[in-house]
Structure 1
Amino acid sequence: MQSEDNLLKVLIAEPSAIIRNGLSVTLKRIPGSWIQPVEISSIENLEHVLETNKPDVLIINPNFWGYVDMTTVRAWSAASKLKIIALVSSLSSDVILKKYDESISIYDSPEDIKEKIFRLFDTSDTEKDKSSEESETLSSREKEIVVLVVKGLTNKEIAQKLFLSTHTIITHRRNIARKLEIHSTAGLTVYAIVNKLVGLDEIKDNFTL
């Protein structure tokens, strides 16, 4: 049995009970991890729990009971190294998301969520710059979508191929553009070739100079 000292304490601050409960169940079922989720439904409870429970991670909807300033939230926490993750369920401004240590989408797989959470603790403070760079690494699903995009598939075709909704594909593509700061198919094509995600022969019909 995992000791209490090794548990990763995660607060979930989300007004929707369905999303909040679903994420809590997902975190508990992640294989090979010892996550102790606590659900928060009000801003008053959030302040109290942050001050008394010393959580490791706060996963919060950026629109939780109106805009919540991250400086204030960190001040409430008794844990000096609190990691704050944005829980994205609708369109959010990149300017707002940059204030968080990481962001997850309600459409992310359990593997992607686990990877994003534990990546925040993989490096020491002396490797902060390296950690920041790695936080922009694409997930396996995002790489898969990049490959299909550069091969010329539409969002609808990608959704059908991966058995996902078109909205989910659009969300993934928005995240890819934010991480790579690439906003064109041509740019993604160059990225995919350089990083050996595809061969030039696979996309030659769609790649013109």
Structure 2
Amino acid sequence: MKSHDVINVAVAETSMIVRSGLISVLRHLPDLNIQTLEISSTEGLHLCIESHRPDILIVNPMFDGWFNVEELKQQYNVHEMKFISLICTVVDSNVLKGYDESINLFDNIETLSAKISLMMNVEEDDGDTDSLSQREKEILGCVVKGMTNKEIAEKLYISVHTVITHRRNITRKLQVHSAAGLTIYAIVNKLVDISEVKMKL
């Protein structure tokens, strides 16, 4: 799937505040083209599955009492659909069987974007493989300054996992795998000043 392709995401949550807030965040995810559907009842969920078949269903495991992923997959034969549990409260891990991924109320926008991108195998368009997002440029600048993944995560208020995902995407887009090559790219493209580069002797 290319980054400009539409990803249809349905959000099933009875709390209007949580549901609307998550939908607002999904619509503003960088580098992803997401169309959303709001679901507030069991009837709405069944109607959505029957008529829209979203690519991803984000659902509170306690939706309308209790939500059975495996039962829904069997009933509607939607084995290709991805299911993300929306964790709003403490949940028994057995309840999460059958889900492809989990998100919670404390996940930041980069974590949510990374999870959806990985789940949907989102690839950059061929014409854009050498262009880095603003966040990737920030991370590359930190890398060539000698910062660790943990230091970068703390500076940019993102998780270490998200930093690692961005670093992987940077090397894939640039097709540069050495520290020296990344440093040269950062200097030539004015992402850092040569005086800021931490040299390793």
TM-score band (shorter)? 0.5 to 0.7
TM-score normalised by length of structure 2 = 0.57
Partner of 1:202: none
Change (3 A) 1:162 1:112: closer
Residue 62 of structure 2: SS of its match in structure 1? Answer: coil
Q: Distance in 1 between matches of 2:25 and 2:39?
A: 16
Q: Which aligned runs of 4 or more in structure 1 are off by greater than 6 angstroms?
A: none
Deviates more, 1:89-98 or 1:71-80: 71-80
Structure 2 vs 1, CA of residues 65 and 32 (structure 1 numbering), >3 Å: closer, same or farther? same
1:69 Cα deviation from its structure 2 partner? 1.2
Q: Which position in structure 1 is the counterpart of 2:22?
A: 23
Once residues 78 and 97 of structure 1 are traced to their aligned partners in structure 2, the CA distance between those partners, rounded to angstroms, is 19
Paired amino acid for 1:17: M
Residue 140 (structure 1) aligns with: none
**Change in 2 beyond 3 A, CA 1:30/1:162:** closer
Match of 2:98 in 1: 99
Instruction: Note the residue ranges of structure 1 that are not aligned, 5 or more in a row.
Output: 124-142, 149-160, 164-171, 173-209
1:113 counterpart residue number = 112
Q: Which residue matches 2:68?
A: 69
Corresponding position of 1:39:
38
Identical residues among aligned pairs (%): 33
Structure 2 CA distance, aligned partners of 1:63 and 1:88?
9
Q: How many residue pairs end up in the alignment?
A: 130
Residues 20 and 39, structure 1, Cα contact 8 Å, conserved in 2: yes
Does the 8 A contact of 2:85 with 2:103 survive in 1?
yes
Instruction: Give the distance between the partners of 1:8 and 1:37, measured in 2 at CA.
Output: 8
In structure 2, what is the Cα distance between the partners aligned to 1:56 and 1:26? 17
Shift of residue 75 of structure 1?
Answer: 3.2
What SS is found at the alignment partner of 2:63?
coil
Q: What TM-score, normalized by structure 1, do the two folds share? A: 0.55
Larger relative contact order (Cα-Cα within 8 Å, sequence gap ≥ 6): 2
What 5-or-longer segments of structure 2 have no aligned partner? Answer: 123-148, 160-201
Q: 1:37 to 1:78 in 2, by over 3 A?
A: farther
> Looking at CA atoms only, which structure, 1 or 2, has the larger radius of gyration?
2
CA offset at residue 70 of structure 1?
1.0
Q: Is the 8 A contact 2:60 2:67 kept in 1?
A: no
What RMSD in Å do the two structures reach over aligned CA positions? Answer: 3.1
